[in-house]
Homo-oligomer: A and B are copies of this chain.
């Protein structure tokens, strides 16, 4: 069972940091690119249509948060998802967003039904 005793603020700060790292669409795109397998910085940049420096910075943040790992390979650096938490969190929220949209669509269908 989950432990829901109140967390001290210092811990809440760390929890918030975890969420915050995932709270950027570009970083989610980057993680999504990594979900199909390890990728170099350039590969991720091409895959996501973003600047190389930008992707490098985002990957640095993700690595600091322990969500991805770096392994140099020659002049390249291969990143991969390092924490299963990423999958579990994204699955959960993606599912929720999908559900919300499905409900919105259904609501619109009902409105259209009534009005015509």
Binding site for B on A (CB under 8 A): 2-4, 6-7, 9, 11-25, 27-29, 32, 35, 66, 83, 85, 87-98, 100-101
Contact = CB atoms under 8 A, between A and B. Distances in A.
Q: How many copies does the complex hold?
A: 2
Give chain A's interface secondary structure class: helix
Contact of A97 (B9, B14, B28, B97): B14
A13 to B, nearest CB: 5
A6 B25 CA distance: 13
Given A11-B101, A19-B93, A21-B23, 8 more contacts: A7-B94, A12-B29, A14-B100, A15-B25, A16-B25, A19-B22, A19-B89, A85-B93
